[in-house]
Structure 1
Amino acid sequence: MSERYLVKKIAFFNPQGNFDKNDSHLTEHPDFGGQLVYVKELAKAMSELGIEVDIITRQIIDKDWPEFAESYDYYPEAPNVRIVRIPFGGQKFLPKEELWKYLPDYVEKIYEFYKSEGRFPDFVTTHYADGGISGVMFLEKTGIPFSFTAHSLGAWKLEKLLESGMSQEAAEKKYKFSVRLAAENLAIKYASFIVCSTNQERYEQYSHKLYEADPYIDKFKVIPPGINHKIFNQEPKPEDKQINDYIEQLLSKSPVKRHRLPFIIMSSRLDRKKNHIAVVRAFLQNEDLKEKANLLIVVRGVNDVLEYVSRERSEDALILEEIIEEAGKEIGKSVFFANISDQKHLASLYRVSAARGSVFVLPALYEPFGLAVVEAAACGLKIVVTKNGGPAEIFSNGEGLLIDPTDTKDIAVKLLVALEKFDSRRSIELAQRYSWKNTALGYLENIQRELSESHGIRSVDEKDLKKFYDLIAKL
């Protein structure tokens, strides 16, 4: 299949988080979020089209992160994908905000790695701002072009934090926005093309005053991400019975009349911006809603939420503590927590719950795309989702109900409408359009054009990189 393409080998630059064959920590940590799922699935889809793919990430030799100590790893189902872990920034795990000053070393070692192999990639895809600036440095060193996929843009995160009351100084200290914005602007300038998930991301997000970008030029491409249809579908699987038994166990101590009610499901990472508490309040404050459904909050790796909250002070524990305080005696009666450890069991939860007429809700204050929503739709759940961001475009024709995530009354009303009147068939049909193969083909079409026409930028102004180096020297 790769004979169709000039590109034979692609490197993915993703310095933060990590990848391994068991998907350890995936989606349960801020540095292991949806971006890593995107990179993994896109890499696998490209490999199925005959492309050799290297995911270039960071080697971590840390007893708390034992999965990432080896230099190489593989996905058994994708022999053409290689995970390459580059040693930089010391051995311990570092959050992404602490990686900036080590990125020149990351790029230098990638160069040395490929030089030792005697073969460089034909093209690089870069992910998030740290991957993007790494692509700029690698372009300067090798002349190999790259694409940039931001996944989320720093200017909008900064704006939301300032609106929430955080000071500019505190935001800068914690998130290093001056460096992130500089990295994003250089990635925008030097990328051969920029991948956006939605038109909203292209025309609105990149129009922010902090970016030197013109989203109306052809350099910007809208290529929607996909979902894994082998996992997220309506076909019964062996895990479904296990999940059904687990649900019955969760409900066993609740009143009998609640045992067959549909669920309102939240399953995004426990993060303030995901706004779980708004749905909890909407549910508890509306007696009609509470009478017609149970609220189910998915957690990962936590069997006893009460015990977890009593001993941990992490952000997710504090969010759970707030939910528990709000729900009070409804915990175990109408509000439940489910420990779902992987995507197969999550898909089973969706299927089993869909048979009850359940609803998936994502009340995020802002959601760039919303892959989790499309996954839930593919399994037959009814959809209620934030109007802020990509979901408003994806579900623009009535495939789901859009909510104001700051308005608990609006959330409650839409959840009731979904439970009582909504038909999930249209959202199921919509989900079929989103596949990783289509995403991979979108990338490869643009890479082919870049390599065949050679119209992209193949050199970097040293002054631009010097400004970036000066910024990270101050960290």
Structure 2
Amino acid sequence: MVLTGHSLGRNKLEQLLKQGRQSEEDINATYKIMRRIEGEELSLDSAELVITSTRQEIDQQWGLYAGFNVNRERILRLRAKQGVDCYGRYMPTMAVIAPGMDFSNVIVPDVGDMIEDVEGVAYVGQDGTTVTPATKPDPPILDEILHFFKNPAKPMILALARADPKKNIPTLVKAFGESKPLRKLANLMLIMGNRDDIDEMPSANANVLMTILKLIDKYNLYGEVAYPKHHKQSEVPDIYRLAAKTKGVFINPALVEPFGLTLIEAAAHGLPMVATQNGGPVDIHQALNNGLLVDPHDSNAIAAALYKLVSDRNLWFECRRNGLKNIHRYSWPEHCKIYLSKVALCRKRHPHWQSDDLLDGDEESQSFNDSLQDIHDISPKDKDSAVNASTLVTNFCQCPKR
């Protein structure tokens, strides 16, 4: 069995208890969470392979379960690889495979004054997805954002996250407000979802927003910070492009970020990143090499990293170039290719699966290659592509009847 978990029960229970709004009994009554955890424990016992999105998911989420221990799994895997007897002890293999994304409609803005190998280049990923630099008319949301700034030509530091305590936006505003060199060089753009009346927002979100507004007033950031009330989801790519055209930076200062989807979206639009060193951004930084990681509790470190990227033009272009060059690693076909390769290894570890009912070696190899070709043939725009690819995986790893 191949297991891919999502929003794991023990991690969810831990987070809900930290909020202090419900007891464990109330949480269980609302979410049936103990039944969910029991199912996840049983799945761990049965799984040959567990797919995760990040290393953090293995260490800090699956690591909470009785059926899995990070250090013991590494030891057992090493012993099995060396052919040493594990005396019946077993744990599933954990594999980190980043979620796939569709980059077919991404348009990278021409930022001007580009380094030679960036200007006018259409980057083509290994999956055939093209990311094309282009000049695009000003987006509709442009006026909504630019009217906040005294000098809208300065590089824009973009944060795109809801007003949630975990997203740590107040620390970002504090870092910006206390750094005179950074304020002189850049603007701050905060896209914090949509709101009408702060008094009608959930209390936790309203408290965060009020803290941000007070910090803007405390540091007198008027004319230097944008915080529009509304934006459409369809305008998010325009927001990324606007920040990139000003040679800005994308920042995710979350206390802990399980994955970091917006970091990948920003990189696909040519934006270097500054991100929390806690969680998924570590994996993204390792894959893309397009920015800097920081301690989200250290406002001075946040300000220093942002200043370094917006003040050093060569570094900015290097990070932009690396992000565009490596972004194919997060494409949907790349995800499926790696997934199938991990599933294929499961069969090699089980000789008893190899029977007259199964394909011989040459046919098995051809079947795997054909499955990969099928994935490349799937249109990323096809809303059923995930279902089709899942069917391919199921057919490929189906065990013979015993």
TM-score range, shorter chain: 0.5 to 0.7
CA–CA distance in structure 2, aligned partners of residues 247 and 434 of structure 1: 29
TM-score by length of 1: 0.55
CA gap of 1:350–1:210, structure 2 versus 1, over 3 A, is same
Structure 2 unaligned residues grouped into runs of 5+: 75-90, 109-131, 344-389
Q: 2:160 aligns with which of 262, 267, 276?
A: 267
Instruction: Determine if contact 2:11/2:64 at 8 Å carries over to the other structure.
Output: no
Superposition deviation, residue 378 in structure 1? 1.0
CA gap of 1:315–1:436, structure 2 versus 1, over 3 A, is farther
Superposition deviation, residue 337 in structure 1? 1.7
Instruction: Determine if contact 1:385/1:391 at 8 Å carries over to the other structure.
Output: yes
CA–CA distance in structure 2, aligned partners of residues 265 and 151 of structure 1: 28
Q: 2:60 aligns with which of 202, 205, 224?
A: 205
CA–CA distance in structure 1, aligned partners of residues 180 and 265 of structure 2: 29
Instruction: Determine if contact 2:216/2:222 at 8 Å carries over to the other structure.
Output: no
Higher Cα Rg: structure 1 or 2?
2
CA–CA distance in structure 2, aligned partners of residues 187 and 263 of structure 1: 46
TM-score by length of 2: 0.64
Matches within 5 A, 1:48-447: 147-156=2-11, 170=23, 173-174=26-27, 178-191=34-47, 193-202=49-58, 204-205=59-60, 208-213=63-68, 215-216=73-74, 219-234=93-108, 235=132, 240-243=136-139, 246-252=141-147, 254-255=149-150, 258-302=151-195, 307-328=196-217, 330=220, 332-338=222-228, 339-342=230-233, 344-396=234-286, 398-421=289-312, 422-423=315-316, 424-444=320-340, 446=343
Equivalent residue letter for 1:316: N
Structure 1 unaligned residues grouped into runs of 5+: 1-144, 459-475
Instruction: Determine if contact 2:102/2:332 at 8 Å carries over to the other structure.
Output: yes
Report SS of the residue matched to 1:361. Answer: strand
CA gap of 1:457–1:322, structure 2 versus 1, over 3 A, is farther
CA gap of 1:251–1:168, structure 2 versus 1, over 3 A, is closer
Instruction: Determine if contact 1:206/1:213 at 8 Å carries over to the other structure.
Output: no
Bigger shift: 416-425 or 207-216? 207-216
Superposition deviation, residue 179 in structure 1? 4.4
CA gap of 1:160–1:218, structure 2 versus 1, over 3 A, is closer
CA–CA distance in structure 1, aligned partners of residues 14 and 400 of structure 2: 32
CA–CA distance in structure 2, aligned partners of residues 315 and 233 of structure 1: 36
> How well do the aligned residues superpose, as a CA RMSD in angstroms?
3.3
Instruction: Determine if contact 1:362/1:385 at 8 Å carries over to the other structure.
Output: yes
Superposition deviation, residue 259 in structure 1? 1.8
CA gap of 1:213–1:242, structure 2 versus 1, over 3 A, is same
Deviation by residue 1:42-70 (Cα, 9 ceiling, x = unmatched): xxxxxxxxxxxxxxxxxxxxxxxxxxxxx
Equivalent residue letter for 1:348: D
CA–CA distance in structure 2, aligned partners of residues 174 and 271 of structure 1: 21
CA–CA distance in structure 2, aligned partners of residues 457 and 415 of structure 1: 58
Aligned residues: 301
